[in-house]
Structure 1
Amino acid sequence: MNTLLILLQSIDGASIAKFGIALGAAIIVLAAGLGIGRIGSSALKSIARQPEASGDIRTNMIVSAALIEGVAFFALIILIVALFV
């Protein structure tokens, strides 16, 4: 118990912050990947049901995926700024 307390006291606050930033970045990337994967899956199912609407479905899929990537990129930039501030 005493050794754990000494170990926790020796951890610098900056290293805990860097770990939190890395964890946040990992969560952002995983969530964006899952979201884009779900969009692709739904688009393929929709195209299979209505092949004549494939152009509209594909366009909406690309726009949605781009918006998700934009939000994920913005969140990663905020984390990088937080790392250096």
Structure 2
Amino acid sequence: MRKFGSTLVWTLLFLVAPLAAMAEEAAAASGGSGWGYALGAGLAVGLAGLGCGIGQGLTAGNTTAGIARNPGAANTMFTSFILGMVLIESISIYGLVIAFLLQGKIS
């Protein structure tokens, strides 16, 4: 089953990649409308928010469970928790920056 999945992924990759390249050339030749940039900006923010929400939920839940099991290590866990939250939130900020950059390219 694993070999089938790998073969399927590679086959789709080799079938879809040339189509995307041809579509990009056609859009460049016709001037393009910019809707691709708008879609990219929306996906950047949406997927970054989705990933960050899942990551923050897992981090908070596991930190709470760890503190409940070992209350003496709460200070150490809290420091790691805050550092993890900062790194997770930075991904969301990067997605927002990418969205702003793509928004500037929309005509």
1:23 maps to what in 2? 43
1:74 maps to what in 2? 94
Name structure 2 gaps, 5 residues minimum: 1-31
Query: Greater CA deviation, 41-50 or 15-24?
Result: 15-24
1:57, CA displacement in angstroms?
A: 0.5
**Percent identical:** 24
Runs of 4+ in 1 over 6 A off after TM superposition: none
Name structure 1 gaps, 5 residues minimum: 1-11
Q: What do residues 20-74 of structure 1 show as CA deviations (whole Å, max 9, x unaligned)? A: 3212211110101110111000000100110100111011101110011112202
Q: CA RMSD for the aligned pairs? A: 1.4
TM-score by structure 1 length?
0.77
- Alignment: residue pair count: 74
